[in-house]
Amino acid sequence: MLVENNSAKHGQALSRSEAAIVGKAAPDEVRRYLPAFPIYKKTPLLELPGLARSLGLAGIAVKDEGQRYGLFSFKALGGAYAVARLVLEHAQKQLCRSLTPAQLLDGDVQAVARGMTVCCATDGNHGRSVAAGAQMFGCRCVIFLHSGVSAGREAAIAAFGAEIRRTDGNYDQSVAEASATGKAEGWTVVSDFSSEGYTEIPGTVMQGYAIMLDEIVHQSTAPYTHVFVQGGVGGLAAVVSGHLLDRFGTERPRIIVVEPSRANCLQLSAQANRRLAMEAGDATVMAMLECYEPSLVAWDILEKSADFYLDVSDDTAVEALRRFAKPLEGDPVLKIGESGAAGLAGLEVAMADPTIRNRLGLNAKSRVLLIGTEGATDPELYEKLLKDGTAAFAAAGH
């Protein structure tokens, strides 16, 4: 199903606060903190000429976030960045003096940070970033994982010294438990999901992603006509679409937000023209996108800047994963996970359906940008999906 954004706000300029989070100047603020991240480097933007020819397009490029910070996901840019800002703020209050981001790595600052606890709920990637940031800057970390998070992803988070707490139910229920526990314990909740009364920290997480858009703009060899970007709670999609709106205005590419058919809360919200939660159903193989309610800050930006919403099946996502892993001649071999491949799945669905293809204006002149949001964050599951498809997901009890 393809749903067009018919909001009365569509195309309006971002507010000052929204622009501060995702706009053209947001990457400059993120760069101020790079001295605290000496391992920072740009991830590659790769052309896929063979795939473009096979689909009848002028070009396809993919931003490979599987190499980001060694955490295998674009989320590395958000959670750890938010932790850095929070620790700096806490340390300045405790030490009664101004500090630079580079001083986050100093012993006296980290000694103060040890009195601070950060927590969050996660499907895997955001929690890994928060845990990595906590370890890097010296504070305690507690991560809440719902029943659908694999053992492999749990182990990857625990490797950063985080305490793991398993919760019943789905992602949204784990978010509620993390929030309630954090409030009761006096911990700082570093969530990428915003709601009424809780927007500042999720906005900071989103701001961290903005540097990826700045990289893309400077790495691109020609303008894009279309961007297929993953949905989830909407954070990444809002950064991509909001940044391009603020930077290019009416000259921006068309933004198509891609979601699992089993967890398409953004699409359903766009259809209803209001932010709404959906009932949880069967688990999707695209675990990083298994969300049932849009983030408030993200939704407000998406109403202005996203153009279409498209849902894809689990089988299509796994086929896209395989397409990256076993490419056509001339294209690079890419290890992009099942959620990271959702954008390509959306593109292939669109190209296979004449009605959708024509409605999106995809043709021989189109240049498409994809975001490979994650690598093989669960290597064992990745190999099984590569070999056995969604049958491997079903065999795991989903």
Tell me the per-residue pLDDT of 215-227, one tens digit each, with 9 for 90 and over.
Answer: 999 999 999 999 9
3-state secondary structure 255-283: EEEEEECCCCHHHHHHHHCCCCCCCCCCC
**pLDDT for position 336:** 97
**pLDDT for position 165:** 97
**pLDDT for position 397:** 60
**pLDDT for position 147:** 87
**SS3 label, residue 72:** coil
Q: Write down the pTM of the prediction.
A: 0.94
**pLDDT for position 398:** 57
CATH class of 79-191: alpha beta
Could you tell me if 130 and 123 are in contact, meaning their C-beta atoms sit under 8 angstroms apart?
no
CA quadruple 266, 270, 272, 273: dihedral sign: positive
Q: Flag residues of the chain having pLDDT under 70.
A: 395-398
> Do 79-191 and 2-73+206-395 have the same topology in CATH?
yes
- Give me the catalytic one of 75, 192, 214, 335: 75
**SS3 label, residue 226:** strand
- Is 123 catalytic? The answer is yes
Using alpha carbons, list the distances in angstroms from residue 263 to 100, 121, 289.
Answer: 41, 18, 7
- Give me the catalytic one of 24, 63, 64, 123: 123
The CATH-assigned architecture of domain 2-73+206-395 is 3-Layer(aba) Sandwich (3.40)
Please state the domain extents for the chain.
2-73+206-395, 79-191
Q: Which residues contact 207 (CB under 8 A, 6 or more apart)?
A: 20, 21, 22, 26, 29, 30, 81
**pLDDT for position 396:** 64
pLDDT digits (tens, 9 = 90+) for 92-137: 999 999 999 999 999 999 999 999 999 999 988 999 999 999 999 9
**195 φ/ψ angles, rounded to the nearest 5 degrees:** -145, 180
For the chain, give me the number of helices (H) and strands (E)?
A: 17, 11
Map tokens 């709404």 to a residue: 276
Query: What is the DSSP track for 123-178?
Result: SSHHHHHHHHHHHHHT-EEEEEE-TTS-HHHHHHHHTTTPEEEE-SS-HHHHHHHH
**pLDDT for position 206:** 98
Using alpha carbons, list the distances in angstroms from residue 142 to 48, 178, 182, 387.
Answer: 40, 9, 9, 34
Using alpha carbons, list the distances in angstroms from residue 34 to 41, 46, 172, 228.
Answer: 10, 24, 32, 28
- Is 75 catalytic? The answer is yes
